[in-house]
Amino acid sequence: MDPGPAQPPYVVAGFSVPRVMFQVLVALVPVLAVQIHLFGMSPLLLVAVAALVAVACEALALHLRHRSVRPCLRDGSVLVTAALLALAVPPTLPLWQLALGVAVAVLLAKHAYGGLGQNPFNPAMVGYAVLLVSFPLEMTRWPAPGGDWDAMTGATALDTLRNGLRQSYTMQEIQAGPAFGHVGAMGGEWINLAALVGGVYLLARRIVRWHIPVAMLAGIAVPAALFHMFDPGAHASASFHLAAGATMLGAFFIATDPVSAATSDRGRLVYGAGIGLLTWIIRTWGGFPDGVAFAVLIMNLAVPLIDRYTVPRIYGHAGQ
């Protein structure tokens, strides 16, 4: 007797889009908590404003596309985009600039390509890249940890490192400055640790798989360690790169976006390693201090090629 279509064997219970997005938001709580501890309540305000703007843009786009608004808003994907962007920008960023970045992420990077599941680029990183290119000064200035906003460090540790090396200072002289902590950036090392905790939670809950995070971190750490070993006065250590910038946030929350990432296990390893290597290259020789956003977007472009050579062929069908 034919059971009919009512019993599909391909349904995986418990991994709906709303559940996955909720787990990601839970995993981001440690990052938000550490930022609040370091910088006061401004990060919470940024997250709230980003969420409101994101929901409004999502509703507008769905209305213009003649799609039902309520079911799509319930999936929580737009809230994840808003939270990632808000936690990646400096807490001193003007709210109107954050709103612009969120609007670009939702309207241009997501809905211009057809909405959830259709976007070839990570929406949060598109918004971040637009803000970084448009407002480089505001996007690279973070307040000193502890809430003393008058004691501005001026630039991030990565930016300070890049400028110091260009002025022929040694690593030891540069890292003696106030922008640096015990391992990475002052305050930034704790934010990266919080993102690592959230990432381990996602791995334990099977929301993300290990391939992309491990490959990305290795892509950063291996060349950093090699260059530091041969010339420690001109190249930062692997531990510094892992604890600075948006390394952990990128590895566990951004690069693992299932829509814009590679699909096979081998492809994910190549994809993650490429992001890590490009991040280190941009940090070392590029024109921007961090590089995670641009590395992710470049590798998003490479995903079709990666999938072409890494996705297993269907049995009985010759490769095209």
pLDDT digits (tens, 9 = 90+) for 225-275: 999 898 887 778 888 889 888 899 999 999 999 888 998 999 999 999 999
C-alpha 101/C-alpha 121 separation (Å) is: 15
Lowest average pLDDT, out of 14-18, 63-67, 114-118, goes to 14-18
Query: From residue 32, how far is each of 36, 105, 237 by CA, in Å?
Result: 6, 20, 27
Q: Is the per-residue pLDDT at 13 higher than 80?
A: no
pLDDT at 310 exceeding the cut of 70: yes
Instruction: Specify the residue for token string 């919080």.
Output: 194
Distance CA 209, CA 188 (A): 25
Residue 286 pLDDT: 81
Predicted pLDDT of residue 184: 56
Furthest CA-CA distance within the chain = 79
Residue 141's pLDDT is what?
Answer: 80
Q: Residue 24: in which H helix or E strand, if any?
A: helix 17-27
How far apart are alpha carbons 160 and 155 in whole angstroms?
A: 6
Q: What kind and span of H or E run contains 122?
A: none
The fraction of the chain above a pLDDT of 90, given in percent, is 53
Residue whose tokens read 């939670």: 201
- Judge whether residue 81 has pLDDT over 80: yes
Please state, in angstroms and rounded to a whole number, the distance separating the CA atoms of residues 311 and 296: 20
- Compute the distance between CA of residue 78 and CA of residue 59 in angstroms, rounded to an integer: 10
Element (H, E) at 2: none
φ and ψ at residue 190, rounded to 5 degrees: -75, -35
Residue 246 contacts residue 128 (beta carbons within 8 Å): no
Q: Confidence class of residue 168 from pLDDT cuts 50, 70 and 90?
A: low
Q: Are 138 and 124 in contact (CB under 8 A)?
A: no
Q: Which region, left, alpha or beta, applies to residue 125 given φ > 0 means left and ψ of -120 to 50 means alpha?
A: alpha
pLDDT for 87-119, tens place per residue?
A: 999 999 999 999 999 999 999 999 998 887 788
Determine the residue type at 206.
R
Residues 171, 160 contacting (CB under 8 angstroms): no
- Residues 237, 241, 246, CA angle at the centre, nearest 5°? 170
| Angstrom distance (rounded) from CA 128 to CA 139 | 9
